[in-house]
Amino acid sequence: MVRIYVTRCLPEDSVSLLQKTGLEVLMRSTDDAVPREELINGISGCTALICMLTDKIDKEVLDAAGPNLKVIATVSVGFDHINLDECRKRNILVSNTPRVSTDAVAELTVGLLLATSRRLMECVNAVKNGDWKSWGLLWMCGTELRGSSVGIFGLGRIGIAIAARLQSFGVKQFYYTDIVEVPQASKFGAEKVDLDNLLSKSDFVIINCALTAETRGLFNEETFAKMKKNSFLINAARGGVINQKDLYKALTSGTIRGAGLDVTDPEPMEKDDPLLTLNNCVILPHIGSNTIETRTEMANLAVNNVLAALDGKALLTQVPY
């Protein structure tokens, strides 16, 4: 008897997809992390698991599942929470949801950039606090993208999508730093430069790299010193790339003008973090892919991976062991 166990409440569309199959589905009714004991009970005897990155799928959980378990589909790009080795041993297929969130993240990054350069959060608060009465011609004036230089550190799919969106705002010059030549860079006339040049030439620096041993803490005091004084730093990639204590110093000493972060280290960020006291620092709670459309697409992809596995077909987005 085939049973699918889902550790979170899924969006309506995905639930319909599952219901159409007529298969037995055991799904948690809320959108919060399933407690470990409930996970171990729920997974027992199931054929397929749809989980989130908050669910640690280790040897103990796989043992509790039993021999029926054929496929694990995580609704995330990352799969650090899954013991791939143990899955391989037990012939359990694993899938993730890569490449679905490019548009949502690129869109959010541009929104974050504008929120930083045009001081949008400061303005929302000024309206709420009654500070609008201080209006003057130079009150709350921000900085335009028109005529500026934009430097992208890591020109992958998301970096390219961001550049495509910024291009029509009158950016004068794009730069990028990457370990490879990126052919699509020519669409924006983007010049490939090393990091030092990117930092010294860019009015907007956008971090788009993966978090690796090389990039962890890369943006530190030394790096900020190489940036332009009127520049903005935008990070929607991984929080660990930035040394946050050094960022605080850079923002309060006029070393750089402002920063916008959708990712921090750790996540969630503590509500009394000093960065949150700064007017020139905008922080969002990692909502890059938080659109109904993209999260639904991610959940649907997980469901479809499961259905493919149950059908004996190739997975759509298999994680190789």
Partner 1 sequence: MAKRIYIATDLPDGVKQKFLNLSSEVKIKDGDGIVSKEQLLENVVGCHALVCTFKDTVDVDVLNAAGPQLKVICTISVGYDHIDVAECKKRNIMIGHTPGVLSDAVAELTIGLLLTTTRRLAEGLDAVKRGEWGPFSLMWLCGTQLSGRTIGIVGLGKIGLAIAERLVPFGVGRIIYSGRTEKSEASKFNGTFVDFTELLQESDIVIICCALTPETKGLFNQETFSKMKNTSIMINISRGPVVNQDDLYTALTTGQIQAAGLDVTTPEPFPTDHPLMKLKNCVIFPHIGSATVDTRTEMIMRSFYNLQAGLKGERLPFSVY
Residues 149-208 that bind partner 1 (CB under 8 A): 164-165, 167-170
Q: How far apart are CA 152 and CA 204, in angstroms?
A: 8
* Tokens representing residue 272 in the block: 């009394």
Stretch that binds partner 1, among 66-74, 131-139, 149-157, 175-183 (CB under 8 A): 131-139
* Residue 108 binds partner 1, judged by CB under 8 A: yes
Q: How far apart are CA 240 and CA 273, in angstroms?
A: 15
Q: How far is the CB of 242 from partner 1 (least distance, A)?
A: 16
Q: How far apart are CA 97 and CA 95, in angstroms?
A: 7
Q: How far apart are CA 246 and CA 265, in angstroms?
A: 13
Q: Tell me which residue of 152, 146, 142 sits closest to 115, measured CA to CA.
A: 142
Q: How far apart are CA 51 and CA 72, in angstroms?
A: 7
Instruction: Give, as ranges, the residues between 65 and 104 that touch partner 1 (CB under 8 A).
Output: 75-76, 103-104
Q: How far is the CB of 194 from partner 1 (least distance, A)?
A: 28
The smaller minimum CB distance to partner 1, of residues 112 and 218, is found at: 112
Instruction: Give, as ranges, the residues between 32 and 71 that touch partner 1 (CB under 8 A).
Output: 32-33, 52-54
Q: How far is the CB of 165 from partner 1 (least distance, A)?
A: 5
Q: How far is the CB of 299 from partner 1 (least distance, A)?
A: 7
* Residue 127 binds partner 1, judged by CB under 8 A: yes
The smaller minimum CB distance to partner 1, of residues 294 and 305, is found at: 294
Q: Which of 3, 201, 286, 295 is catalytic?
A: 286
* Residue 270 binds partner 1, judged by CB under 8 A: yes
Quick one: which of 292, 313, 314, 321 contacts partner 1 (CB under 8 A)? 292
Q: What angle do CA 178, 184, 188 make, to 5 degrees?
A: 95
* Residue 250 binds partner 1, judged by CB under 8 A: no
* Residue 238 binds partner 1, judged by CB under 8 A: no
Quick one: which of 136, 183, 312, 320 contacts partner 1 (CB under 8 A)? 136
Residues in the interface with partner 1 (CB under 8 A) total 73
* Residue 29 binds partner 1, judged by CB under 8 A: no
Quick one: which of 85, 144, 214, 222 contacts partner 1 (CB under 8 A)? 144
* Tokens representing residue 87 in the block: 């899955």
* Tokens representing residue 153 in the block: 């550190």
What 3-state DSSP class applies to 184?
Answer: helix
Q: Tell me which residue of 171, 169, 173 sits closest to 197, measured CA to CA.
A: 173
CA 256 remoteness from chain centre: 24
* Residue 259 binds partner 1, judged by CB under 8 A: no
Give the pairing of strands 258-261 and 24-27: unpaired
Quick one: which of 77, 126, 211, 310 contacts partner 1 (CB under 8 A)? 126
Q: How far apart are CA 230 and CA 147, in angstroms?
A: 14
* Residue 9 binds partner 1, judged by CB under 8 A: yes
127-157 in b/e form (b: 16+ CB < 10 A) is eeeeeeeeeeeeeeeebebeebbbbbbbbbb
Is 81 part of the annotated catalytic residue set? Answer: no
Quick one: which of 29, 180, 194, 271 contacts partner 1 (CB under 8 A)? 271
Stretch that binds partner 1, among 173-181, 213-221, 231-239, 278-286 (CB under 8 A): 278-286
Q: How far apart are CA 66 and CA 90, in angstroms?
A: 10
* Residue 143 binds partner 1, judged by CB under 8 A: yes
* Residue 146 binds partner 1, judged by CB under 8 A: yes
Q: Tell me which residue of 310, 316, 314, 317 sits closest to 18, measured CA to CA.
A: 310
* Residue 314 binds partner 1, judged by CB under 8 A: no
Active-site annotation, residues: 286
